[in-house]
Amino acid sequence: MPVCLAASRLLAPTVCAALLLAGCASSSAPPPRPLSGPPGAPASPSPASPAPAPRGLPGVGPETGAALTDGTLQALVVTGATRDTHTAEAVLYERADADAPWTRVLGPWPAHNALRGWTPDHTEGDLRTPVGVFGLGDAGGRLPDPGTLLPYDQDEDFDVSGEGFLGEPLEGSFDYVVAIDYNRVPGTTPLDTERPLGEERGGGVWIHVDHQGPTQACISLALEHMRELLRALDPAGLPVIVMGPEADLRR
């Protein structure tokens, strides 16, 4: 059973055109003076070029950003206020290539994370969401594929019932999911239970449909936002999720 069950389960060059002044003059003619300013005054300097657009992923510092490869062209950034909060904000960024600036393409969206917040050292049952940068390569859900480019496993085993930490119904939470590559084997269905780091490190950490309350370790988004995310993610862009409290991500 995935741990996301609650209580039961990333210059334009400015072209400065020079004015070419052409004309006929005898060798005895005085030299031309500048177009602006009094005789003898220096020519006006060329306008300064605008500052280059930032290349870094918004809200993400160099230490965290070092985990992004040149091939990563999509990044879902999920930011919490502190290590102990279970509400967050999610934004999907894209870039054309490794030298291009990141552009926001979806969000910001409200999100939930684990009941007790975040941790850089997740263990089974700690009710905290792991902090870091993780791949997003596999999807699935109880409902049919909404049109994603990710491998999608439609399966009735994504069914869930019961109540969350706030007494909210969990039904429909796994209608759409995207597996977060934390302690799992990439390239398998989100339902796969193999844990390369060991069972004590937890697993089954997903992005799934929000049930209006905190999770055990997952990230949850509204149903319509899950559909948008699934349709936007492209395995050719090596998508990742960058998640954690603001102070940690800015390192």
pLDDT of res. 158: 98
pLDDT of res. 136: 98
pLDDT of res. 2: 56
Average pLDDT value for residue range 177-187: 98
**Comparing 165 with 27, which gets the higher pLDDT?**
165
Starting from the edge strand earliest in sequence, which strands make up the sheet with 206-209, in order?
132-135, 240-245, 74-80, 87-94, 103-112, 219-221, 206-209, 177-179, 138-141, 152-154
Residue type, 41: A
> Mind listing the pLDDT tens digit for each residue in 78-122?
999 999 999 999 999 999 999 999 999 999 999 999 999 999 999
Instruction: Give the predicted TM-score (pTM) of the model.
Output: 0.80
> Mind listing the pLDDT tens digit for each residue in 186-224?
999 999 999 999 999 999 999 999 999 999 999 999 999
**Comparing 248 with 21, which gets the higher pLDDT?**
248
Average pLDDT value for residue range 19-29: 34
pLDDT of res. 10: 33
> Mind listing the pLDDT tens digit for each residue in 42-65?
444 444 544 334 579 999 999 999
pLDDT of res. 19: 28
> Mind listing the pLDDT tens digit for each residue in 123-134?
999 999 999 999
Rounded Cα gap, residues 183 and 2, in angstroms: 12
Res 8 pLDDT > 50: no
**Tally of CA atoms within 13 A in the half-sphere of 76 that contains its CB:** 32
CA dihedral 125, 128, 132, 137 (to 10 degrees): 60
Instruction: Determine which of 13-27, 57-71, 237-251 has the lowest per-residue pLDDT on average.
Output: 13-27
Tokens of 124: 């089974």
